[in-house]
Chain A
């Protein structure tokens, strides 16, 4: 079975500072990895995903995540955050041949002026 652990429930950070949201997963088979973002009063939307190939994946709004197989991690980073990045971020994992996606508990990113 797969599991996902998001190591921080809340991350407060000042505007223009860098941020890292940590995600570790557990699986005995190869996985696909996702980061979703949920803005206040909205559903989740895909931020970025790792399927195969380059271990560094990027989103259109400046976030990036690196798949590290040896450490079973998929941490999300942004070098300079904006107020508008305030949201809850979910790390998720799925496997080949499976219907289910397993979500982490979420990390609330709060960007302060």
Chain B
């Protein structure tokens, strides 16, 4: 059974803190993605990676960075958390290809920044 796991289901952080969200997949997928999900806005792509050490900005990368040192792990970093980054964060992975493959999602991390 394919699996994408995220390090925390719920996280509460203070404004200005550095926050790490971890994602691990066991499907040997090349592609990995970070999204944030907000009511009425659907999923918005923050960053994606198509190979180890490779990363590409998505639609809303400001305030975020990513790290992919190993194929199975993709980390999202909030350098200095702000209240407008309170959201649900979803990680996903997919095989390499040209858009034809579906994405496999983790359960999400609900981050609250106070």
Contacts and interface: CB of A to CB of B under 8 A. Distances in A.
Interface of A: 6, 9, 32, 34, 36, 41-46, 49, 51, 90, 94-101, 103-106
Contacts of A41: 107
Contacts of B107: 41-43
Contacts of A34: 102
B56 A99 contact: yes
B66 interface: no
A90 B105 CA distance: 13
A87 B31 CA distance: 27
Which of B31, B40, B102 has the most chain A CB atoms closer than 10 A to its own CB? B102
Contact of A103 (B4, B40, B43, B106): B43
A90 B100 contact: no
Contact of B48 (A36, A90, A100): A100
B24 interface: no
Contact of A98 (B41, B58, B98, B106): B98
Nearest to B45: A100
Which of A9, A34, A45, A94 has the most chain B CB atoms closer than 10 A to its own CB? A94
Contacts of B45: 100
A46 B59 CA distance: 22
Contacts of B103: 44, 46, 101
- Among all A-B residue pairs, the 4 with the closest Cβ atoms: A43-B105, A94-B99, A105-B42, A103-B43
